[in-house]
Amino acid sequence: MQKFDDAVLDCFLKNQLQLFPEEVASDRKEAEAFLEECMAVVVESVKEVLDYFEEEGVDMEGADESSVLEEAEVFAVGDGRYLIVEG
């Protein structure tokens, strides 16, 4: 089970409306429970974001590093890491 640090949880809380029509969490505890439930992952680079989508069978033909970061499921934590949440 993935552990989510405060930077990841804060990033999700601040940006959750990019993926969902309404807030799904109002504090870090709720955010952590939600992310664990939907099996969100944190990766260390844009390349790992691309690798993740490829492994999940998402059609990434023609996608590059900048376009994959525009996906609603991808949250830039701000320290080089990315949170991927399957909505």
- Give the model confidence (pLDDT) of 50-62 as tens digits: 999 999 988 878 8
How confident is residue 37, by pLDDT bands cut at 50, 70 and 90?
Answer: very high
Which helix (DSSP H) or strand (DSSP E) does residue 42 occupy? strand 41-43
Domain boundaries, the chain: 6-84
Per-residue model confidence as pLDDT tens digits over 9-22: 999 999 999 999 99
Q: What pLDDT score does 1 carry?
A: 65
User: What phi and psi, each to the nearest 5 degrees, are found at residue 20?
Assistant: -120, 145
Q: What is the pTM of this model?
A: 0.92
